[in-house]
């Protein structure tokens, strides 16, 4: 089951990265983000690649991993998305 979830996560991230690579560069980025660090996912979402020195990680098999954060834009403002730990209940109202 874990292998299936891991494979599905890789497919999703790969699709998002492919879409970001083929998207046209835009000037509308979160404050302080350089164009070279930004992978747009659409008009209202993107992925910020963090510096390699701070996030260097080599998984088994020697593949390099990009680390960073997802951002979403809502009402004209960018927000960094944090993933809640599994099993956590988040009150929304």
Q: Say whether pTM exceeds 0.75.
A: no
Instruction: State CA 74 to chain mean position distance.
Output: 16
pLDDT at 4: 66
| In the chain, % of residues over pLDDT 90 | 25
How many C-beta neighbours within 10 Å does residue 26 have?
11
How many C-beta neighbours within 10 Å does residue 19 have?
14
The answer to whether the CB of 41 falls within 8 A of the CB of 12 is no
Tens of pLDDT, residues 46-89: 999 987 654 455 667 766 777 888 999 999 999 999 877 666 67
Question: For the chain, which residues make up each domain, given as ranges?
Answer: 2-81
As a whole number, mean pLDDT of residues 11-27 equals: 58
Give 37: exposed, middle or buried? Use CB within 10 Å, 0-12, 13-18, 19+.
middle
């Amino acid at each position: 089951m874990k292998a299936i979830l891991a494979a599905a996560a890789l497919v999703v991230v790969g699709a998002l990265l492919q879409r970001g690579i083929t998207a046209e560069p835009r000037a509308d980025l979160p404050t302080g983000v350089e164009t070279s660090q930004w992978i747009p996912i659409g008009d209202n979402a993107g992925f910020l690649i963090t510096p390699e020195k701070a996030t260097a990680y080599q998984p088994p098999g020697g593949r390099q991993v990009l680390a960073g954060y997802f951002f979403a834009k809502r009402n004209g403002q960018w927000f960094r998305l944090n993933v809640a730990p599994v099993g956590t209940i988040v009150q929304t109202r």
